[in-house]
Amino acid sequence: MGNRPVEGLPQLSRRARVLLVCAVGLLAALVVLPVLVGMYTSWLWFGEVGFRSVWVTMLVTRLLLFVAVAVLVGGAVFLAVLLAFRARPVFLPGLAEDDPVRIYRDFVQRRPRLFGLGIPIVLGLLCGLIAQANWETVQLFLHGGAFGVTDPQFGLDVGFYVFDLPFYRSVLNWLFVATVFAFLASLSTHYLFGGVRVSWSEGALSRAARIHLAVLAGTFILLKAVAYWFDRYALLSSGRKEPTFTGGGFTDINAVLPARLILLAIALICAAAFFAAIVLRDLRVPALAAILLLLSSILVGAVWPLAVEQFSVRPNAADRESPYIERNIEATRQAYGIGADKVEFQPYPGIGTRSPRDVPADVTTIANARLLDPNLLSHTFIQQQQLKNFYAFPATLDLDRYVIDGKLRDYVVGARELTPSSLSGNQTQWVNQHTVYTHGDGFVAAPANRVNAAVREAVGDTSSSNSGYPVYTVSDIATQASGHQIIRVDQPRIYFGELIARTDPDYAIVGGPEGSAPREYDTDTSTYTYAGTGGVSIGNWFNRMAFAVKYSERNIIFSKAIGSGSRIIFNRSPTERVHLVAPWLTTDHDPYPAVVGGRIVWIVDAYTTVNNYPYAQRSSLEDLVVGEPAPTRRGGEVSYIRNSVKATVDAYDGTVTLYQVDRQDPVLKAWMSVFPGTVQPESSVPSELRAHFRYPQDLFKIQREMLAKYHVDDPREFFTTNAFWSVPSDPTVESNPYQMPFYVLVGDQATAEPSFRLASTMVGFRREFLSAYISAHSDPQDYGKLTVLELPTDTLTQGPQQIQNSMISDTRVASERTLLERSNRIQYGNLLTLPIADGGVLYVEPLFTERIASEQNTSTFPQLARLLVSYREPGATGGVRVGYAPTLAEALDQVFGAGTGGAATAPGSGAGPAPPPPPAGEPVRPPPPAAMNPATADELNRAIAELRDALDRLQRAVDAYQTAPPR
C-alpha cells in the first residue's frame, strides 16, 4: 500500500528568519530587562536598609527550589519521551493512508529536539516558577524546632505539623506532578509512534509501551499510598466539623483514620499489580487493581465515614464529640495565646457597690476618661493643623501615651505628612513633585481627655464658637525653633509615612550636585537639603539609568537637579518596609507614630502565623479588619498567631529595626535561625521605646473572637453554644458590624496608677446584654496580660447597643438633638465602657457636632459639644441613669450626685463642672488662681456671669411677686 507524500511546513526566507529572531530577542529583552533592573534596584535597596542578607537568602532559596523542581519535572518528562521514542516500533504494519497522526509523526521526526527538549523545558520552567514561591516551607523545614507541645492523637510534637509535614507534602505533590506529566508524555509518544494503537474494535500495546506505562502507573499508585500515610496527620486540622470546631472529630478518628490505613494497604497491592504487568502480558490484573482501588476509595473512604457520621455520631453528637471538642479547646487556647497563663477570668457583678469618689482607681479612671475620638478628629486636625494644602493626617488618628510633668497621659497623635496627591498646579510638575515637595513636617498631639473649653452656646449654633476643640501639643519646624515643646522632637521632618507612600510612583529625590543650594521645601521662608542616610545613591549614571527604567521616567537621566550627592528614597510606607525586610511576618494594619529619643518613629506590630496547628480553630485577619486596609499577610487563614516582633521605622531616614518581644515563640526562633542577626534580642529594646508599645488591635480582635467561644471549659456546654459570647455591633457606626476595641487609660485596682489598656465589651450569643469585658494591658510590667470580667447570667446588664438607645432616647438628648440637627451633622464618638464602683459599668460617649457645609462656609469640622454618660443604679431592679451635659464632670454629677464629677477637673481632664449655686446672700467667688485649671478659666467666667444674671432675674421675680396685689 503506497503512502502519499506528506506536505511540509512552508520554509521561511533568510530575511524573514532574521526579522523573526530580532522580534523574539526584542520581546525577550522587554520581559527580561525590567526583571533584571528590578533585581538590581532591590539589591541596592536591601543594602541601604541593612537587610541584604535577607534578600540574598530568599533569592538563593528560590533559585535552588526553582532548579530542583524544574529538573525533577522537566527531567522526568524528557526521560519519558526519550525512552518512548527509542522504544518505538521499527515497522508499523496496518497503518492506513489516512492515519490522523501521520502528519504529526513526520513533523516530530523532522524536529525531534524541538519536541524532545522544548516540551520538558517549558513544563519544567513553569513548574519551577510555581514551586519557588514555597521557599518558606523549605527554610522552616531546615531550621524548625520543637514546640514542646504534643498532639493528643499521635503524640508527635506540634513542630512536626508546622515545620516538617508541609515540606513532606510539598515534595510528594511535585513527585505526583512529575509522574503524571511523565505518564502523559510517554503515552503521547507511544501513541504517536505506534507503540499504542487504538481503534473502534481493538487496541494494542507494544511490550516497551506496556512496561513503560505500567512502571509509571505503579509509581503513581505507590505515591498515593504514601499520601494516604500523610493524610492521617492532616486529619488533626480537618474542617469537617466546622463551624462547630476544627480538628479530627469522632468520625475522623474512628472511621476516616482506619480507612486511610486500609486504603494504604490496598494501594500497595494495586501498585504491586501494576509492576507485575512488566512481566505479565495480561493487563486485566492491573485493570482489576485500579477498579479495586477506585471502589475502595468510594466505599471505604467516603461511604463508611458517612454512615458512621449519620447513624452513630449525629444521634449522640454531644457525647461522641466531647473528647475532640476538649482537644480543640486546649489547642486553640495554646495557639492564640489565650490560655490560663495569659488570661485571668474574674467574676464581675455589673452593679456598683460603692461611689466612684470613694474608689481611688475610679478617681484615676474618671480623671483620664477620654473625650476625643481618634476616628472622628482627622478632619479637625487637618483644618486646624494642616498648615499647607499638601500636608494631611491619616483618616484615623492614633492613641498613645506620654509622661508629662511626671504624670502618664494619653494623647491623640498624628504625623503631619506630605500628601503628593494634594499637590496642584505647578506643584505637580515632575521636578517639584519629586525634588521639592519631599517630606512632611511635624508630630501633632492633643491630650485625649481635654478640650479648649466646653460648648455652652445657644442650642443649634454650637459650631459658631471656638470651643470643643483639642488642645494641641504641636511639634514642627516653627515650635522647634522657638524651643517651646512639651514633647521634644529634635527632627520633625517626615520622609517615610502612611500617606506619603500612597502615590504611584512613590519616590523622592533628595540632595543634588555638589555645592548646589538647598531646594526642598521646608517652610515659607526656608529650604532644606536632606542630611540623612536613607535612600539609594543615584550619583552615578548607571544607577540613574536603572531607576529611570524602573519608573519609566526619562527626567531621572536628564534633570540637572540630580547630581553626585543625590539619593532616591522609595518604598516609603512603614508597613511595606517591614514586610519587605521580613516577608515571613504579617504586619498589623495600623502603624502609629511615636517620639522616641527626640525622633519620630513608626511602630509596626508584626506577627508570626501558622495555618496548620493541630486541632486549633482557624481565623482570618482580613475578616476581622472591617472597613480598614487589610494587613500585609503571607497567606490566608491562620490557626496560630503571636505578636513576637515589634518593628520601628525612622520617619526621617527610614531605618528599619526589628525587636524580639516573645522569647517563647518557636516560629520566630526558626526564622531567626534562617536570617541570623535580622531581629534584635528583647534586651536591646530601649526603655523609652518600650513605654510606647501598645497591645495590637488586630491580634486583640482575633483573641476576643476566640474568647467568645473558648472561654467555655465544658465540651458539652461548648457544643450547645449556650454560653457563647458575641462581639457587639458598633452602635455609633451603622456600617460597621463589629464594635472596634478602644484604648483607654484607667486606674489600676491595686495601685490606682493610670494603666494604658485595649478593651472591648462582649454580649451574649446573638443577644444585646453585656456578658463580659476584655482588656489587654499595654504597660511594660504587665504587657500582654488579658483580663476578662465575666458578668452573671442571672441578671441583665445593658450592652452597648441598648445603652446607646437609652441615651439618645432620653428626653433632654432627644429634644436638643432635634434642634442641633437643623444646622449640624451629629456624630457620636466611640462608646467607652469603664468598670467602676466595685462592680459597676460606666458608659461614656462624646457627641460631636459639625456644621453643615454651605457655599459660604465650607470649612467645617467636628467639635466636642456634649458628653453622654450612663450608669446602672444599684439594686437588683435598678434603672439606668443618663447624664447629658457640656462637660464630663456635669454629666457625672447628674448620674452620681454633686461632687463626683470633681475628679474630672484634675489637670488635663478637660472642662470642669459648673459651680454650684451659692447660698443666699453670698457672692460668687471663683477658686484661687493656683487651684484653677487654665483650660476652664473662660468657661468659669461665663458660668459666673450667667449665674449672676440668673440671680438678678430671680430677685426681680421675687420682688414682683411680693409687690403684686392679692387676688
What average pLDDT does this structure show over 125-136?
95
Query: Of 456, 478, 474, 476, which is closest to residue 465 (Cα–Cα)?
Result: 456
User: What is the four-CA torsion angle of 693, 698, 700, 701, rounded to 10 degrees?
Assistant: 160
Q: For residue 929, what pLDDT is reported?
A: 36
Question: Which amino acid is residue 51, in one-letter code?
Answer: F
Q: Which three cell numbers stand for residue 864?
A: 466636642
SS3 647: strand
Q: What is the pLDDT of residues 570-611, one digit of tens each?
A: 999 999 999 999 999 999 989 999 999 999 999 999 999 999
How far lies 236's CA from each of 141, 487, 617, 637, 665, in Å?
A: 19, 53, 11, 16, 21
SS3 570: strand
How far lies 70's CA from each of 66, 85, 894, in Å?
A: 6, 22, 76
Q: Among 27-31, 32-36, 57-61, 679-683, whose mean pLDDT is lowest?
A: 27-31
Asked if 923 and 946 count as a contact pair (C-beta separation under 8 A), the reply is no
Identity of the highest mean pLDDT range in 190-194, 235-239, 602-606, 904-908: 602-606
Q: For residue 918, what pLDDT is reported?
A: 37
DSSP string, 728-784: PP-SS-TT-SSPPPEEEEEE-TTT--EEEEEEEEEEETT--EEEEEEEEE-SGGGTT
Q: Which three cell numbers stand for residue 527?
A: 529650604
Q: For residue 462, what pLDDT is reported?
A: 55
Q: Which three cell numbers stand for residue 214?
A: 505500567
β-bridge mates for residue 872, sequence order: 880
Q: What is the pLDDT of residues 299-339, one digit of tens each?
A: 998 999 999 999 999 999 899 999 999 999 999 999 999 99
Q: For residue 920, what pLDDT is reported?
A: 36
pLDDT for residue 459 is more than 70: no
* Separation between Cα atoms, residue 942 and residue 936, nearest integer Å: 10
How far lies 420's CA from each of 436, 501, 504, 669, in Å?
A: 11, 9, 10, 40
pLDDT for residue 708 is more than 70: yes
Question: Which amino acid is residue 283, in one-letter code?
Answer: L
DSSP string, 454-496: ---S-TT-GGGSS-S----EEESHHHHHHT--SS--SB-EESS
pLDDT for residue 24 is more than 70: yes
* Separation between Cα atoms, residue 883 and residue 453, nearest integer Å: 19
Question: Which amino acid is residue 291, in one-letter code?
Answer: I
Q: For residue 463, what pLDDT is reported?
A: 54
SS3 841: strand
Q: Residue 747: which pLDDT band, with cuts at 50, 70 and 90?
A: very high
β-bridge mates for residue 642, sequence order: 608
Asked if 539 and 546 count as a contact pair (C-beta separation under 8 A), the reply is no
Q: For residue 2, what pLDDT is reported?
A: 41
Residue 947 burial (C-beta neighbours within 10 Å; 0-12, 13-18, 19+): middle
Q: Residue 910: which pLDDT band, with cuts at 50, 70 and 90?
A: very low
Asked if 451 and 468 count as a contact pair (C-beta separation under 8 A), the reply is yes
Q: Which three cell numbers stand for residue 905?
A: 477637673
Asked if 511 and 564 count as a contact pair (C-beta separation under 8 A), the reply is no
* Separation between Cα atoms, residue 524 and residue 521, nearest integer Å: 8
pTM for this one?
Answer: 0.87
Task: Categorise residue 921: left if φ over 0, alpha if ψ from -120 to 50, beta otherwise.
Answer: left
